[in-house]
Structure 1
Amino acid sequence: MRTAEFDNDYVLRQAMLAFMEFGYAKTSMQKLTHVTGLHPGSLYGAFGNKKAIFLRAIEQYQKDRNQQFTALFHNKQPILETLKNYLSLIVDECIKGEVAKVCLLTKSISEVEGNDPQICSVLRGNLNAYENTLAEQIQKALDNNEFKSSKTAQQLARFLVMGIYGIRTYALTNSDPKALQLLADDLYCALLN
C-alpha cells in the first residue's frame, strides 16, 4: 500500500480554516478537496468521511492552541502580565480577519448541538479543558499573591472564557481595534476585582 505524500498538519489546518469559515454543515467534501489540494480519494483514504476529517481538524486546532498558550505562559513574566498579553493576542486575532475571529470550538458546538453527540462531546471536552487551563494559570497568580479574589480560580476562569467568547462575537459586528482592546482591558480589570 502506498503511503500518503502530503503534510498531514497542513491539510488539517486547511480543513480547520474551511470549517471555521463555512461551518460543519456547509463544508462539503468538494470544499475540503479544494482547500487542501487533495483529490477526493486521497482525503477519503487518509481520513475517512467528513466527520472524521472534522474531528481530526478539531484535534489539530486544539494542539495548535495548546502550543500557543503554553509558549505564551512559559516565561518569566508574572501570570497576570501574561494574561493581559493573552487578551491582547485575542484582540489581534479578531482584527486580522473574519476567520481569525471565530473559535472553531464555539462556532461548531452551537451548530451541531443536538445533532451529533460524539462531536458535541469532543467539543465540550476541549472547551472544558480550555477553561481548566486558564484556571490553572489564575490559581498560580493567586498562589503567587499577584492579586486576591473572593472567587475561586475556576469561577474566574469561567468568567474570563465568557468574556473572550464575547469579544470574539462582538468582533464579528465591530472590528474597531480600539473598541476591542478596550473590551479586553475591561475584562482584565473585572477579573481582578
Structure 2
Amino acid sequence: MLTLADELALLAYDDDGTRRLGQPALGYGLAGAVLVELAIAGRVEVADKNVVALSTERIGHDVLDDALTRIADDRLRKPKAWVEKLSKGLTDRVLDGLAESGVLRREQDKVLLVFPRTRFPSPGGVEPPLETEVRARLALAVGSGRPVDPRTAALCALIRAVQFDRQVFADQPRDVVKRRLKEISEGEWAAEATRKAIEEVQVAVSVMMVAAIVPAATS
C-alpha cells in the first residue's frame, strides 16, 4: 500500500522521471503527508498548537516510523517546525522506497557528462498502475461532489497547500477544481481530532510555501 507521501511523489514526477513540482515545495508537501498519515493512523494529534505523539506503536513503514520516533522523543513543536525538520532529505527517502518496491526505477547518469544525476522514471516509461489509481481517486473526488474518504481528502488538502492543483487537475475546469478543493479541505470527512491535525498541517505547509516564494519573487 502506498503512503500519502508516496502518492504525492508519484504525482510530482512525470513517467520519464522529470520533476513537475519543484523544491522546497515537494519536500514540504511530503513532510506534511507524513504528519497527516500519522494523524490518520492515530499516532499523533495537534494539541495547544503543538504536534503530540499519542502512541509509539510502529506502523511498519520506515519513513513513518522514523518520523513518529523523532516526534515522540523530541520536545513539543508546532506543525510548521515539524514540516521543516522532516522535509530535509525526505524526497530522496520516499523516491528510494518507491524504487526499492519496483514502483519506480532508479537511473544514474551525468548532466553535460560531468554532473551526477539520479532520475526516477516509471518502469517502461508508462504511468505506474498505482499512480493511475491515485489519479482516478482524485478525479472522482473533485469531479463527482460525493463524500470523500479521509486519505483522499488529506491528499487533496496537501495538493492545494503546495499549489500543485493546476498540474494534477489539468483536464478539469480551474474554477471547479478550486471550489471543490476548498470544500474538501473544509469538509467534515474525518474525526474531529484527525481533521484538526490535518487542517493545522495544511496551514503549516501553506505558510512554508509563502515563506519560500516571497524571497524568490523579490530577489
TM-score bracket, shorter-length normalisation = 0.3 to 0.5
User: Greater share of helix residues, 1 or 2?
Assistant: 1
Taking structure 2 as the reference length, the TM-score comes to: 0.31
Taking structure 1 as the reference length, the TM-score comes to: 0.34
User: Greater share of strand residues, 1 or 2?
Assistant: 2
Higher relative contact order (CA 8 A, sep 6+): 2
